[in-house]
Structure 1
Amino acid sequence: MTAYAIAHLYPEGRPDAEVIDYIERIQSTMDPYGGRFLVHNAPVEVVEGAWPGAVVVLGFPSIGEARAWYASPAYQELAPLRTRNMAGDLVLVEGVAADYDPRATAAALRAAAGAAPVA
């Protein structure tokens, strides 16, 4: 099942040389794990709440590959180039199956809560 690395970053001004080096080198750390960029610092359209900063979304074939990429010596050597220069949050999350139906999740939640279904 596809997994994602999602970063909410807070860049301040123009990227410095270390951040540019990080951007140049990150793909090579992802290649052995089947990782690819899905979103990279694209403008966001905020429709609810606030979203200061930038968003980056990476896709991996599975949560195992995403974890292995993040823990890899190649990425751990590279990560400080970003973390020293840009605050942010990074999460790894597993996606849902292609046949995922949120109604089944709602039914399970209703059953657990003892609530009647909506007509």
Structure 2
Amino acid sequence: MQTAKYLAGAALLIISLAACGSTPAFNGSRTGNDEQFLLDYTMFNTTDSQELTAQAGDQIRADITVDGGELSVQIQKEGEEPLYSGDGIVASCDFAIGIEESGTYTITVTGDKAEGSAHFEVVSFGSK
């Protein structure tokens, strides 16, 4: 009887330790539509993507804050070479990419124990 209690206690301890050691995939907020993709997180350990619609002459602006971990970012129009591809981003940065061809652009963000934010927005300089 005593051995069964010890085994049950040991099993419970192992399960508890395993749960404590797991890293959540995402803890934060996400907003996305055809003009913006906003990620704010205290833990980002996964991949997320959003399609943005841009017209020729627009820009896709990025504002990335890295408070910990690292990010990889790719901006690509379907079937074409990426307009931007950054792996292992460990420092905050901001940049803009000029859009030469109207269409749908996919923003893909992958985090590795990342903390911070990644904001992408289509900025238009004329009427659509």
- TM beyond 0.5: no
TM-score w.r.t. length of structure 2: 0.35
Higher strand share: 2
